[in-house]
Chains A and B, each alone.
Chain A
Amino acid sequence: MVELINREEHEKLYIQLYEILKKKIESHEWKVGTQIPTEEQLCDMFKVSRATVRNAVLELVRQGYLIRQQGKGTFVKKDYVEDGIILCTFFKTLWVKDETKYKKKIVTKTVIMPIDNLSDELKIAENKHIIYTKIFWYIENNLSIIQESYIPFAVCPQLLEENLEVKSITEILEKKCGIKITQIDAHLELNPLTRELALNFSLPEKEPVILLTQKIFSGDTILLLNKFYIKGDTDSLFISFQRRT
Chain B
Amino acid sequence: MEEGKIVKDIMLELFEYPHIPYWFSIEQVIKVMKASFFQTPKNTYPLVVLVFDEKYNLLGTVTPREVLKGVSSSHNYSSTNLKVNPEDKIEVDWEKVFGDESKNLAQKPVSEIMNPAKHFVDPLDPIKKAAYLMIHFDLPVIPVIEDKKKLVGVVRMNEIFDIISDEIIKK
Q: Do A and B originate from a single complex?
A: yes
Query: Chain A: residues with CB nearer than 8 A to chain B?
Result: 107-115, 119, 125-127, 129, 132, 134, 153, 160, 196
Residues A107 and B36 in contact, CB atoms below 8 Å apart: no
Residues B54 and A113 in contact, CB atoms below 8 Å apart: no
A contact residues around B53 at 8 Å (CB): 110
**Residues of B in contact with A, size category:** 10 to 19
Residues B32 and A108 in contact, CB atoms below 8 Å apart: no
Residues A127 and B36 in contact, CB atoms below 8 Å apart: yes
Residues B52 and A111 in contact, CB atoms below 8 Å apart: yes
A113 to B19, CA, bound (A): 6
Residues B55 and A110 in contact, CB atoms below 8 Å apart: yes
Residues B32 and A111 in contact, CB atoms below 8 Å apart: no
Residues B54 and A126 in contact, CB atoms below 8 Å apart: no
Q: Which 6 A-B pairs have the closest CB atoms?
A: A126-B35, A111-B19, A108-B54, A127-B36, A113-B32, A110-B56
Residues A132 and B21 in contact, CB atoms below 8 Å apart: yes
B contact residues around A126 at 8 Å (CB): 35-36, 39-40
Judge whether B18 is part of the interface by a CB distance below 8 angstroms.
yes
Known: A112-B20, A113-B35, A127-B36. A153 touches B54 (CB 8 A): no
- Option from A110, A127, A132, A196 in Cβ contact (under 8 Å) with B18: A127
B contact residues around A129 at 8 Å (CB): 15, 18-19
Residues B15 and A110 in contact, CB atoms below 8 Å apart: no
A209 to B156, CA, bound (A): 46
Residues A113 and B52 in contact, CB atoms below 8 Å apart: no
Residues B32 and A109 in contact, CB atoms below 8 Å apart: no
Q: A108-B55, A112-B20, A112-B21 are in contact. List 15 more A-B contacts (CB 8 A).
A: A107-B54, A109-B54, A109-B56, A110-B19, A110-B55, A111-B52, A112-B24, A113-B18, A114-B35, A115-B28, A127-B18, A127-B35, A127-B36, A129-B18, A129-B19
A contact residues around B15 at 8 Å (CB): 129, 153
Residue of B nearest to A115 (CB): B28
Judge whether B129 is part of the interface by a CB distance below 8 angstroms.
no
- Option from B31, B32, B36, B54 in Cβ contact (under 8 Å) with A110: B54
What's the nearest-Cβ distance from chain A to residue B22, in Å?
9
A69 to B115, CA, bound (A): 62
B contact residues around A153 at 8 Å (CB): 15
A contact residues around B18 at 8 Å (CB): 113, 127, 129
